[in-house]
Amino acid sequence: MKQIIAVLCGLVLSVSAEEQKLTLDQALQLARVNSPELKAARLQTQAAEKAVGASGRWKNPLLNVTAEGVGGDLDGFNDTEYEIMLKQTFQRGGKQKSARAVAEKSIGIAFQAEARKELALLAEVRLAFISVFAQQEIGLVRVEQEQLGRAFVEVAKRKHANGGSSELEVLEAELALEEILLSQTCCFGDLKAARIRLASLIGISEAGMAELEGAYYDLPVLEETIIDPSHPSLRQITAQIEVAQAMAASAKAKDAADITLGAGYKYEAAEDVNTFVLGASMPLNFVRAGKAEQASIMLQAEALQAQQNEVRRQLQERLSMLIALYNGAKTEAEMTRDNLTPKAERAYELSRAGYDAGRFSWYELINAQQHLAEIRVRYIEALQDAHVARAEVSQFLQEGI
């Protein structure tokens, strides 16, 4: 059973040369195209754009028809009067312009919300991509370790058959192989789960997802940087401030009295007279609530400005922490690569040569081989930690790994 699992793990990790590899850029593009959440956010932005066309329109005209004395009055006379008038209200104080400005600024809120969701989604894809890549590389180490383990078992059996070693060495070799196969089961499960996660995020099936390809072993230098004002979280608050300012202007315009003009036709049956009628009306705004509403909204805008400063501080703090974590993980990975790995490789070579010469025991050889494998895995995991930190940094710098 363990051999079958090991074979399955090898099949997942071994992709034919003709099969196309999946890069990070391709995964990010698939996520942009296939994400239902991003589609919903884009539709919200489109809805805000459509709302601009519906705002700041003229009010519909009013058709007013009155009739008096229809069918005769109480005195028995048939002095019917008719009046037909068309009225139009003209908004003053820039109400239409203010309404359009509010709708136009609202587009910015929807657009920046969409940008934030895209950044968050792409960060998730980067993290999932890194997880798959790390498990993929660890799997390669385990497969290579298995091949060496099987070779050790064969060597131990041959030596034992020729009388050159004891049965204990055969058992030690078989035990080491069993431990390798056990580690492969965990490797296979972790890899499968990571692939399912990535495939779900980018909107494809796990079975149809190719082996990943990328510069996993390259770690660029990241310098301390300042949060750019164009970051979507900051721009969204800026858009909210602009909407509040537009709403304040709209509130102020409410104090301006609208004028309603009318023109129509009037017929008086008693004198059989047709006349053209003009009319005008305007409310008397003794109570001016718009100014008080404007002051309230401007205070809200100031509160948003203070909130933006706090968000900028939090973002800058988070970015600085992530860069520090990245540099720490990068240093650990480089030290593992430059110091630990060469020494572990040399120790394994010496153990192999010493075993062949009869100076070292089988246990010492197996231990050196396992130690080398664990250091290689540790190197891959240190790289993973660095890439994870860099993937989170990408939400601030808008760049990939």
Residue-wise pLDDT for 45-72, tens only, equals 998 888 888 887 888 899 998 887 666 5
**Residue 159 falls within a domain, yes or no?**
yes
pLDDT exceeds cutoff 90 at 202: yes
Q: What average pLDDT does the segment 2-15 reach?
A: 42
pLDDT for position 73: 55
**365, two tokens:** 């050889």
The interaxial angle of helices 24-34 and 36-54, nearest 10 deg, is 50
**Residue 19 falls within a domain, yes or no?**
no
- Domain containing 154 equals 2-14+24-397
DSSP state of 287: S
> Could you read off the pLDDT of 257-280 as tens digits, one per residue?
889 999 998 887 767 778 888 989
**Residue 80 falls within a domain, yes or no?**
yes
How far apart are the C-alpha atoms of 256 and 230, rounded to whole Å? 37
For residues 196 and 222, the model is more confident at 196
Residue 87 DSSP SS3: strand
Q: Which residue type, as a one-letter code, is found at position 241?
A: I
Residue 14 — very low, low, confident or very high, per pLDDT cuts 50/70/90? Answer: very low
pLDDT exceeds cutoff 80 at 400: no
pLDDT for position 198: 95
Q: What average pLDDT does the segment 85-97 reach?
A: 87
Q: Please state the domain count of the chain.
A: 1
Q: Residue 314's domain is classified under what CATH number?
A: 1.20.1600.10
How far apart are the C-alpha atoms of 282 and 89, rounded to whole Å? 9
> Could you read off the pLDDT of 327-362 as tens digits, one per residue?
999 999 999 999 999 999 999 889 888 877 777 777
How far apart are the C-alpha atoms of 272 and 288, rounded to whole Å? 46
CB 73 within 8 A of CB 67: no
**Residue 377 falls within a domain, yes or no?**
yes
Instruction: List, in order, residues 6 or more apart from 139 with CB less than 8 Å away.
Output: 9, 12, 13, 184, 187, 188, 191
Rounded to two decimals, the pTM is: 0.75
pLDDT for position 86: 92
**262, two tokens:** 């009318």
Provide the strand spans (E) within 72-222.
Answer: 81-90
**Residue 161 falls within a domain, yes or no?**
yes
CB 249 within 8 A of CB 258: no
Provide the strand spans (E) within 48-143.
Answer: 62-68, 81-90
**Torsional sign, CA 106, 112, 115, 120:** negative
In this predicted structure, which of 77-86, 99-108, 260-269 has the lowest mean pLDDT?
77-86
> Could you read off the pLDDT of 170-186 as tens digits, one per residue?
787 777 777 777 776 66
pLDDT for position 71: 62
